[in-house]
Amino acid sequence: MTDGSHTDRLWYDGPASEWVEALPIGNGRLGGMVHGRPGAERVALNEERLWAGDHADRTAEGGPADLRAVRDRLWAGEFEQAQRLCNEFFVTEAQGVPPYQPFGDLLIDLPGHDDPATYRRSLDLRDGIARAEYTVDGARFEREYLASAPDDALAVRLESDEPGALDARIRLDRDRCARTAVVDDTVVLRGQVVGVPGDDEDVEPGGWGPRFEGRARVRAEGGSVVAASEIEAEAERDDEGTAGFLAGDEGIVVRDADAVTVLFTAETVPSDGDPTTDCRETLAALAGEDYASIRERHVGDHREYMERVTLDVGEPIDLPTDERLDRVRGGARDPHLERLYFQYGRYLLLGSSRPGTLPANLQGIWNEEYHPPWDCNYTLDVNLEMNYWHAEATNLAECAEPLVSFVDDLREPGRRTARDRYGCGGFCVHLQSDRWHTTSQTVDAHWGHWPTGAAWLCQNLWERYAFSGDEADLERVYPTLREAAEFLLNYLVEHPERDWLVTAPSASPENQFRTADGQEATTCVMPTMDVQLTRDLFGHCIEAAERLDRDAGFAADLRDALDRLPPMQVGDDGALQEWLEDYAEVNPGHRHVSHLVGFYPADVLFGDDLALDRSELRDAVRASLERRLDNGGGHTGWSCAWTIALFARLGDGEGVADHVHKLLADSTYDSLLDSHPPYQIDGNFGGAAGIAEALVGSHGSELRLLPALPEGWEDGAVSGLRARGGFEVDLAWSDGRLDEATVRAERDGPCRVRVPEAGIDRVETADGTPVEIERENGVLAFEASAGETYALAVDRADP
């Protein structure tokens, strides 16, 4: 069953000993973590909608009058008191959001398989199939695991090269709020979340939560399939003990089979719903399908996405993935493992975010804990946004659709929060959200009373249009952008001492400052991040209004407000100031670099009205980044990933290489999942985005080819990366210099290329027709036509 034609694989010579070592499969809605245990397999299951709790108003009672009281304290320079008032007025008593929940486990017991003679476990990123292969008593056994989007089911296939060699018991299990039963050839797990899980083994009393059901249908080729309870009863009648896995009355037993297929699906519905019908219908649709056809549909669908982008930077080292990672931890460089990490980031997004699903949460879709870290929520001060930084650039635009829909669904509750708490129009979102679309402030203001989450999310939405250039995408996201801008326009207030419009209160999320009189707080008047997000959002709204020919008056109001925003400022140390005043940082090595959001992922630091020229701003960005790193920053997975992206945009290949190595060495489990620590997925996603940015940049309406090629990647090729403006790019290079470049246009319009060191002699269409080009200030420009492919002839003559 194995296709050996490519090297997009993780592989190991032993099973997973714990959950973070297991290998993930997912179809956007259903997820599984495959442990690969020969005698007692565990596939830990997830269904994206299984969260504790229910729809609820989690908003505190503070209102516009309380907002004025907080502002009065800020104007007086009493930041600690302002922060206390934010907690008093605007933070709900029940802090945090309801947690995302594990669904349960698919368990497969195979007697006598605990000590195989040979063993190999793998994950094929291109096919989307996990495998376990081993031998017992001379017989070879092989398993495949996949999560099919076309058939909306997980499938496990067990085979042996010895006829009749498969004996197994298949069970579903969940240790809370669920019960199991066997119906014919199907194991059924059914339950309902009760309240929010406590810290002990019991579930705290509370309201009823979602209902859920999972069904695992078992098919055998040859042999028999029977409920374990029947075998138990038979053994009692015969007054005989049962052997090994047959003990107990749970699940389904297969005996003497040549092959076994297990098909699993699950549903979660509101507390007054019934998940049974949908589960039955999904499995009924597959009743006449054999495993080969299910596998074929899955592989075809999965490859259609994964094969859009290829990256070649050398051959793999012939060692298990965990041993290769150990070598990296010891200081070795492994470019192929870095390339594998990049493709893994694409694989994980495809597995946790597809059209019609919820967006990927802090752990994508994979979680084994009832009280997961940070509730597996949607954290909006970088983490959810980072999950999608690579979606457009790495040719997975469809995977960003759940984020677009999710932000759209935030608008209604966000309008209530904006109106009731702040007396503003539009919609606003704070630090955290969940599947119930919470928009209020749910955490202590120490972590940041920060009402500008919608503005950052809108930066992701704008990228949807920026990469496609499709006006239909702009039509789709513009209403959301407009409402987010309306809130900020209303929330801005005149600074009492300067001719500025400012947000107040706000925060540079999670980072504290220290004032000259010794106060320490996060609550402040318009941090640099807010200036940048406001510029980004207002600028995009103005551009959208012009392109769509609407809202001219609103666009004019935004222009007026832009003119009154505070400027970018550089502190005494040469770094970009994080706050309006050059405060000291309580933690100079903080993991967040919120004041650099305008440099990456946004691009608002190069305008003509920022009071600093480009070189000054780039120097200030670099100084800010290096200051963080010199003081221990970049120490979590996602923070290191953001560092990679910032170095890529700075054009620093050495910085990219060093921090890709650091990300793997310091913040990656053996499964290549991100170790924050603990596990969360944004490091995987942000790392992939940073690598893509190092190969093809497209901010500022210019293509940049190999702008920050990592050291150690001297020879290689990449195909299928997307660029803003509606372009797809292929590159090949050697000795660290560009050899070939191809650009495919998805729409009509100008293509501007920042000429690389190698230079570009000419541009031709696919049939060799020369294209008229213009050159100015190091940029080559030509008019592109939709559907056309352009070859850029590279001059490799020595400079």
Q: What is the pLDDT of residue 272?
A: 87
Q: Which of 320, 369, 441 is nearest to 62 (CA)?
A: 441
Tens digits of residue pLDDT in 487-535: 999 999 999 999 999 999 999 999 999 999 999 999 999 999 999 999 9
Q: Where are the domains of the chain?
A: 9-52+101-306, 62-93+377-389+404-632, 314-333+634-799
Q: Which of 733, 713, 744 is nearest to 796 (CA)?
A: 733
Q: Which residues contact 546 (CB under 8 A, 6 or more apart)?
A: 555
Q: What share of the chain is helix, strand, coil (3-state, %, to 5)?
A: 35, 25, 40
Q: Burial, 754: exposed, middle or buried (Cβ in 10 Å; 0-12, 13-18, 19+)?
A: middle
Please report the beta strands in 362-481, taking only residues with DSSP state E, as ranges in sequence order.
378-379, 432-433
Q: What is the pLDDT of residue 613?
A: 73
CB 730 within 8 A of CB 308: no
Pairwise CA distance, residues 330 & 36, whole Å: 27
Quote the pTM value: 0.96
166-173 sheet: strands from edge to edge: 23-26, 30-34, 40-47, 104-109, 166-173, 252-257, 224-227
Write down how long the chain is.
Answer: 799
- 314-333+634-799 adopts what CATH topology? Immunoglobulin-like (2.60.40)
Compute mean pLDDT per 10 residues along the chain, 799 residues long, and list them: 74 98 98 98 98 78 94 98 96 83 98 97 98 98 98 98 97 94 96 67 54 97 93 58 54 97 97 94 96 98 98 94 98 97 98 98 97 95 98 98 98 96 97 94 92 98 97 98 98 96 97 97 98 98 98 98 96 95 95 96 74 81 96 95 98 98 98 95 98 97 96 96 98 95 97 86 94 93 97 76
Q: What is the pLDDT of residue 246?
A: 53
Alpha helix stretches (DSSP H) within 108-257: 228-237
- CATH code: domain 9-52+101-306 is 2.70.98.50
Question: Can you give the three-state secondary structure of 165-195, one letter per residue?
Answer: CEEEEEEEECCCCEEEEEECCEEEEEEEEEC
Pairwise CA distance, residues 606 & 777, whole Å: 16
Handedness of CA 434, 440, 446, 450 (dihedral sign): positive
Q: What is the pLDDT of residue 797?
A: 64
What is the DSSP secondary structure assignment for residue 570, as one 8-state letter?
Answer: B
Tracing tokens 């442990």 back to the chain, one arrives at 35
Q: What is the pLDDT of residue 241?
A: 42
513-514 sheet: strands from edge to edge: 520-521, 513-514, 584-585
Question: Can you give the three-state secondary structure of 269-336, one letter per residue?
Answer: ECCCCCCHHHHHHHHHCCCCCCHHHHHHHHHHHHHHHHCCCEEECCCCCCCCHHHHHHHHHCCCCCHH
Q: Burial, 553: exposed, middle or buried (Cβ in 10 Å; 0-12, 13-18, 19+)?
A: exposed
Pairwise CA distance, residues 77 & 71, whole Å: 10
Tracing tokens 């299928």 back to the chain, one arrives at 720
Alpha helix stretches (DSSP H) within 492-613: 528-548, 552-562
Q: What is the largest CA-CA distance in the chain?
A: 92
Helix (H) or strand (E) holding 11: strand 9-12
CB 605 within 8 A of CB 599: yes
CATH 1.20.1560.10 fits 62-93+377-389+404-632, yes or no: no
Joined together, the tokens standing for residue 508 give 């540079």
Give SS3 for 145. Answer: strand
